[in-house]
Amino acid sequence: MQQLKNKVAVITGGNSGIGKATAQLFAEEGAQVIITGRRDDVVDQAVADIGHGAIGLVGDVADLAHHQKLADLVKNRFGRLDVYMANAGIINLTTSDKVTPDEYDRHFATNTRGVFFGVQAVAPLIRDGGSIIVTSSLAATKILPDHTVYAGSKAAVAAFARNWAVELKPRKIRVNILSPGPVETAILGKLGVSEADSPAFERHMASLIPVGRMGLPEELARAALFLASEAGSFVNGIELHVDGGMTLA
Ligand code: NAD
């Protein structure tokens, strides 16, 4: 049985990595999927790859008008939303002494403000009993080198999600946090690690993870499906760490 049959699901940053794998799985499970992303060529390609009538919307989550455009699209085409996954995010590793105000603002504009105002814009469209998933990070709870600003931006969205789980109680909307550990996606190429150092960096990351390897986007997608579907119908306000046990190591 398809677990998201006839559901309407939005995944921000759904053109790449964890978001794209989730959009693919949700579509295979019967959902009408709407993905967002920054680059139109990448969004177009992802829509073609996902198939199943997926829809793409190009925009920047730091731009509040983009969220309104998305809400209008959902309202006009479908009248309601069942699942909203606030997943778009960026990272740049730097020690705190080197973080510029621009770099700080860029992280919080995308990872934090983008999540807050995205949820604010679509919340009225989410049907009672629907599901919101916020992608945070292992870095929000575990101290990792050079992650300070990113960690702060991701800890904030975990706090938002816990508050929303209670605020949205009258509408029985479940709000959960998906916290990935290191996952093999394009974001790893944006950490500031050089291409030459990348294999050694990935080996080092894998050595820190009890299961002995980094995660795959599809593994995060399956966790998101659990949170979005009836399988997680009594799961609300949790932080689901999908990190091969790295939180503990
Ligand atoms: P990715 O780079 O493959 O995907 C990031 C997505 O976010 C892309 O679709 C990109 O277009 C979108 N995005 C970035 N900035 C945006 C903006 N301003 N406006 C609109 N869209 C924007 O990386 P990923 O690993 O799939 O990351 C997905 C989420 O998972 C992010 O929030 C990331 O912080 C989080 N995360 C990833 C890892 C990991 O190791 N890959 C670990 C912990 C948390």
Task: Return the SS3 of 96.
Answer: helix
What average pLDDT does the segment 85-110 reach? 97
Residue nearest to atom 18 of ligand 1 (CA): 60
* Among 149, 187, 198, 202, residue to substitute to test ligand 1 (most atoms within 8 Å of Cβ): 187
- Which residues pair with residue 239 across a beta bridge? 177
Are the C-beta atoms of 243 and 209 separated by less than 8 Å? yes
| Ligand 1 atom at minimum distance from 136 CA | 44
**What is the rounded distance in angstroms from the CA atom of residue 39 to the CA atom of residue 15?**
9
Q: Which fold has domain 8-243?
A: Rossmann fold (3.40.50)
Q: Which residues contact 94 (CB under 8 A, 6 or more apart)?
A: 103, 146, 149, 192
Residue 192 has pLDDT above 80, yes or no: no
Against a cut of 0.75, is the pTM above it?
Answer: yes
Are the C-beta atoms of 43 and 65 separated by less than 8 Å? no
Domain ranges for the chain? 8-243
Q: How confident is the model at residue 20 (pLDDT cuts 50, 70, 90)?
A: very high
pLDDT of residue 207: 94
Backbone dihedral region for residue 63 (phi beyond 0: left; psi -120 to 50: alpha; all else: beta)? beta
Are the C-beta atoms of 126 and 75 separated by less than 8 Å? no
Give 114-162 pLDDT, tens digit per residue: 999 999 999 999 999 999 999 999 999 999 999 999 999 999 999 999 9
* Among 11, 16, 110, residue to substitute to test ligand 1 (most atoms within 8 Å of Cβ): 16
pLDDT of residue 19: 98
Which carries the bigger pLDDT value, residue 240 or residue 93? 240
Residue 14 has pLDDT above 80, yes or no: yes
The catalytic site residues sit at: 150
